[in-house]
Amino acid sequence: MERRNFLRSFLTFLGSLTLVSFVYPAARFLYPTKQNDLADKVVLHKKDVAPGSSLNITLDNKPVIVVHRRNQGFIALSRVCTHLGCLVRYDRGEDRIICPCHAAQFNLEGNVISGPAPRPLERIPLQVKSEKIYIG
Ligand code: FES
């Protein structure tokens, strides 16, 4: 192989490599791979949360409470109180969510009933499919 042909082939190879290094990331950005929507979720079994009870979990390092409301199904809410950030808990006797710091109270939809909390608790997406609960 002549030196000129070798250099031409080598430069063509480098040009192709450079082109691919720009086109491939752009294509991945425009056409991302499909991921399983349920892959990044916390999965519970329905029997893990009996009616009228709750379960505290962590989702992406965020504290979350899952409540099995009587006759209303499951709901997932952030446990971080919207007043000053204390962690709320489910009060089974009162059937509501209570903040132990300054006594804010929330209904089982996460809405403020009383106390200093300015906003409802953040609602976390939740899906129930057959016997499993997908949270996140
Ligand atoms: S932090 Fe919850 S009521 Fe103040």
Q: Residues 45-90: pLDDT tens digits?
A: 999 999 999 999 999 999 999 999 988 999 999 999 999 999 999 9
Pair 84, 49: CB distance under 8 Å: no
42-135 folds as Rieske Iron-sulfur Protein (2.102.10)
The C-alpha atoms of residue 66 and residue 49 are separated, in whole angstroms, by 8
Pair 33, 123: CB distance under 8 Å: no
Question: Which atom of ligand 1 is nearest the CA belonging to 102?
Answer: 3
Q: Residues 5-49: pLDDT tens digits?
A: 888 888 888 888 888 888 877 877 777 665 556 567 889 999 999
The C-alpha atoms of residue 23 and residue 35 are separated, in whole angstroms, by 22
Predicted TM-score (pTM) of this structure: 0.73
The ranges assigned to domains in the chain are: 1-33, 42-135
Pocket test for ligand 1, best of 81, 87, 98 (most atoms within 8 A of CB): 81
Cβ-count burial of 64 within 10 angstroms (0-12 exposed, 13-18 middle, 19+ buried)? buried
Pocket test for ligand 1, best of 102, 113, 114 (most atoms within 8 A of CB): 102
